[in-house]
Amino acid sequence: MKDVTPPPPEEVVRDVAIQNLAFSPNPVRIKVGERVRWTTGESGAIRHTSTSGSPGAADGMWDSDILSPGDPFTSEPFEEVGEFVYFCEIHQSTPAMRDAKVIVEP
């Protein structure tokens, strides 16, 4: 008998650029099961992180470590509906580098 099992759905990854000391888009809207990929597009030696939580209260859900220009960081799939706040540990005093959001919809 012929296998009629449908192929697994393609993985969806939404991109967030880190450039000009800001995350874009912000917020980034995704569906349950999707991932987010942050890539720094800064020139020179400007480095960043994508760290879940708020400055002084990282929550451990994800942390990119330090990203140099051109480096990507991709999250694990988001499995829960909700709003997830993140920031750049290096530039946490810059308004556009804190209180960024991933909004996960059903």
How do residues 66-92 score in pLDDT, each as one tens digit?
Answer: 999 999 999 999 999 999 999 999 999
Name the nearest CA neighbour of 43 among 59, 21, 58, 26: 21
Q: Does 62 score more than 90 pLDDT?
A: yes
- The long-range contacts involving 12-17, CB below 8 angstroms and separated by at least 24 positions, are 13/37, 13/74, 15/39, 16/50, 17/41
Q: Does 9 score more than 90 pLDDT?
A: no
* Domain 13-105 falls under CATH 2.60.40.420: yes
